[in-house]
Chains A and B, each alone.
Chain A
Amino acid sequence: MDTSYLLIQTLNGLQYGFLLFLVASGLTLIFGIMGIINLAHGSFFMIGAYLCYWLAEKTGSLWLAILLGVPISVLVGLVVERFGIVFLYKRDHLYQVLLTYGLILIFNELRAILWGNDVQSVKIPAFLAASIPLTETQAYPIYRLFISFVCLLLAAGLYVVIQRTKLGMTIRAGAANREMVQALGLDINRLFAIVFALGAALAAFAGMVNAPVSSVYPGMGEEILIVSFVVVVIGGLGSIKGAFLGAMMIGMADTFGSVLLPTGSGTVVYAVMALVLLWRPQGLFGRAI
């Protein structure tokens, strides 16, 4: 194992981690603040990817596709929140699981009607399509570096919004004590709508930037959903910081797990989760249960 090999594997792990963070951050926010278990979160990831494929095909540009796709996903998020999730705030988790699972089926069916069941791909923009050669056979694709960079920017942006703005303060307050926020006269309904739409948009955006490297296919939402739940549980429900750390841990564990333990690669991620939960049952940054 030489250094360039380790370097590339580390980059692989980080990049996967960043991607997971984008999806998991929305999931953890929605759970932490709204108390909603959103099984349909992976569907937003899938919708983002299909929107990206469809819009890129229509406009001929990945950038335009993302530019148009993000507002559409915000809109989808708002509609889902206003016409579905809103009825669940006072109900227990079982109802939430039922409705959001139903949403998965609905989104899958809509996807089949709108875009069909075929596997699709999105072209990487020409100036990012190259790879950086490291050794004779080893190279690292520039587009993957780009994904990591964008995700890092977004994560930083999210940090600033949550730690430094009034909206962020309200979100944090909402996560800590929902009733108190309401009692102070803040419009909790508006906050919920914003958080849900933001979460949906983050997941959809992750689907979009990732579409050129992941390809676009039915079932991609369910795949990322499960790993994202692992990340959220490791990080502690409702903690953005935790989601970030959890995503990085899982990204690394998955990458190095697949290389060092190829036959057990599927279990490495869950073994990490089990170990973290044994040590801290509430997750890394979760409130004590």
Chain B
Amino acid sequence: MNENGLTTTRRTILKGAAAGAAVSFIPTRFAIGQAAKLKIGLMLPFSGTFASPGVNIAEAFKLRIAENGGKVGGRDVEYIQVDDESAPPKAKDNAAKLITKDKVDVLIGTVHSGVAEAMAAVAREEGTLTICPNAGAGKITGEMCAPNIFRSSFSNWQPAYPCGKVMINDGLKKAVMMSWNYPAGHEATGGFKENFVANGGTVVKEIFLDFPKVEFQAYLTEIASIKPDGVFVFFAGAGALKFIQDYAAAGLQGKIPLYGSGFITDGVLKQAGAAADGIKSTLHYADALDNAMNKKFRPAFKAVANKDADVYAVQGYDAGTMLIKGMDAVKGDIKATKALYAAIAGATIESPRGNFTLGKNHNPVQDIYLRIAKGGEETVLGIAHKALADPGKGCSM
């Protein structure tokens, strides 16, 4: 026992000494300048319900960097991936570990709004450059906005807002709106309502279910008895697919037109098939967008990820472009924060969704498209709102 203990101690001391010696020979980042690898922390969901968006974001982000010769601002990159499991309680620890222990220079993440808010809180404190490639929580570019926090995706309010006008234009004045009872649901339906009411519409009923409940049947029966002119929903993923199918099965498809923030059909259109026919939705992207960037991006993504690109992939790709633009401007010196953030904030991002810029609150100022689903495909009907900026409520920067 004793002997053992002694050996261990001796070894530990030796190891420690060796490590100490080694450390003193490692030059500081400043000394080696651009030669040091840029450490990029990808904090995304690689398991669970949001695994598919998480993987797509990571793949597309890496694709963008690879297209740039694998370099950012002239520096090679090193990825450190953490599965955030879409679990808000673990978010703070994960983000703090990436920043303080793994010493990442840049943080990319994430999909789940609750996790993203925790990440943003840590990033504000530590001052690490953070790009959010999905989570639409208004707070991130609202009350929590900061010079080092950017978003390459959207705010929940943003894709839903134009839909209010779209329904009025279609001659529908009486709407039921429905979503989950969580911040994203309230922000999205709130955006819709704001525009719908301002243009003379009335929301006759607001239905909020517990997240992530998918027993819609009772509410659909209620909608059928209310007989509104149209229905606006904010659902995503599994819930969206089930809602579309239940809506059709309840006999409402074609009788009461269904509208939504684009997430209602994105990623579930193929599975939904004919049940989704006729759904009109507004989003900052559409698979079928007819522009050169999109035509180049989709096959390139498919080649690396072995599946079709979606809006999440585009957001990951654009997060890469934002980082490259900023880092190129400061020639790889991530410490030149002022110039770096100004370069990102002032950049025009060439994206598969069409070019966009960033607003005062670092959220994209982008075109929102109106799309319609038919036979498992989405057709772009036009631009529902040109260069829409998020109001960034509560952001002072």
CA gap between A282 and B153 in the complex, in Å: 52
- A255-289 with Cβ < 8 A to chain B: 255-256, 258-259, 262-263, 265-266
Give the Cβ gap from B248 to chain A, nearest Cβ, in Å. Answer: 9
Q: Using A9-B221, A141-B249 as known contacts, say yes or no to A254 and B215 having CB atoms under 8 A apart.
A: yes
- A102-151 with Cβ < 8 A to chain B: 108, 112, 116-121, 123-124, 131, 133, 135-141, 143-144
Q: Using A119-B237, A254-B215 as known contacts, say yes or no to A138 and B251 having CB atoms under 8 A apart.
A: yes
Q: Using A137-B252, A137-B256, A213-B246 as known contacts, say yes or no to A117 and B208 having CB atoms under 8 A apart.
A: no
Q: Which of the candidate stretches A79-87, A154-162, A215-223, A228-236 sits at the interface with the other chain? A: A215-223
A215 touches B225 (CB 8 A): no
CA gap between A199 and B215 in the complex, in Å: 24
CB of A44 within 8 Å of the partner chain: no
Give the Cβ gap from B265 to chain A, nearest Cβ, in Å. Answer: 12
Partner of B49, one of A121, A131, A138, A218: A218
A265 touches B209 (CB 8 A): yes
Residue numbers in B under 8 Å from A217 (CB-CB): 49, 237-238, 241
Residue numbers in A under 8 Å from B256 (CB-CB): 137
CB of A214 within 8 Å of the partner chain: yes
- B194-219 with Cβ < 8 A to chain A: 207-210, 212-215, 217-219
B49 touches A219 (CB 8 A): yes
Partner of A259, one of B47, B48, B212, B218: B218
Which of B52, B181, B208, B238 has the most A CB atoms < 10 Å from its CB?
Answer: B238
CB of B268 within 8 Å of the partner chain: yes
Partner of B268, one of A117, A119, A141, A259: A119
Map CB proximity to A onto B248-271 as digits: 1 under 8 Å, 0 otherwise.
Answer: 011110011000000000011001
Give the Cβ gap from A97 to chain B, nearest Cβ, in Å. Answer: 20
CB of B222 within 8 Å of the partner chain: yes
Residue of A nearest to B240 (CB): A119
CA gap between A59 and B194 in the complex, in Å: 49
A5 touches B219 (CB 8 A): no
Interface bin, chain B: 35 or more
Give the Cβ gap from A179 to chain B, nearest Cβ, in Å. Answer: 42
A120 touches B215 (CB 8 A): no
Map CB proximity to B onto A1-40 as digits: 1 under 8 Å, 0 otherwise.
Answer: 1100100110011011000000000000000000000000
Partner of A139, one of B55, B218, B238, B251: B251
B52 touches A259 (CB 8 A): no
CA gap between A121 and B52 in the complex, in Å: 16
Partner of A131, one of B208, B219, B249: B249
A119 touches B238 (CB 8 A): yes
CA gap between A16 and B237 in the complex, in Å: 22
Partner of B271, one of A137, A215, A258: A215
Residue numbers in A under 8 Å from B47 (CB-CB): 108, 112, 117
Residue of A nearest to B207 (CB): A262
Map CB proximity to A onto B90-108 as digits: 1 under 8 Å, 0 otherwise.
Answer: 0000000000000000000
B238 touches A215 (CB 8 A): yes
Give the Cβ gap from B125 to chain A, nearest Cβ, in Å. Answer: 32
Residue numbers in A under 8 Å from B273 (CB-CB): 121, 123
A144 touches B249 (CB 8 A): yes
Residue of A nearest to B50 (CB): A117
Partner of B221, one of A112, A121, A138, A215: A138
Q: Using A119-B267, A119-B268, A215-B241 as known contacts, say yes or no to A137 and B219 having CB atoms under 8 A apart.
A: no
B225 touches A2 (CB 8 A): yes
Which of A121, A140, A218 has the most B CB atoms < 10 Å from its CB?
Answer: A121
CB of B11 within 8 Å of the partner chain: no
Residue numbers in A under 8 Å from B267 (CB-CB): 118-119
B219 touches A121 (CB 8 A): no
B215 touches A121 (CB 8 A): no
A137 touches B251 (CB 8 A): yes
Partner of A117, one of B48, B212, B255, B272: B48
A214 touches B49 (CB 8 A): no
Which of A118, A215, A255 has the most B CB atoms < 10 Å from its CB?
Answer: A215
Residue numbers in B under 8 Å from A116 (CB-CB): 52
Residue of A nearest to B46 (CB): A117
Residue numbers in A under 8 Å from B51 (CB-CB): 112, 117, 218
Residue numbers in A under 8 Å from B252 (CB-CB): 137
B224 touches A138 (CB 8 A): yes
Give the Cβ gap from A13 to chain B, nearest Cβ, in Å. Answer: 8
- B-contacting residues of A (Cβ < 8 Å)? 1-2, 5, 8-9, 12-13, 15-16, 108, 112, 116-121, 123-124, 131, 133, 135-141, 143-144, 213-215, 217-220, 223, 254-256, 258-259, 262-263, 265-266
What are 13 A-B contacts with C-beta separation under 8 Å? Answer: A5-B222, A12-B218, A12-B221, A131-B250, A137-B252, A137-B255, A139-B224, A140-B251, A144-B217, A217-B241, A218-B49, A265-B213, A266-B210
Which 7 residue pairs are nearest across A and B when measured between Cβ atoms? A139-B251, A217-B238, A117-B51, A266-B210, A141-B249, A121-B271, A138-B224
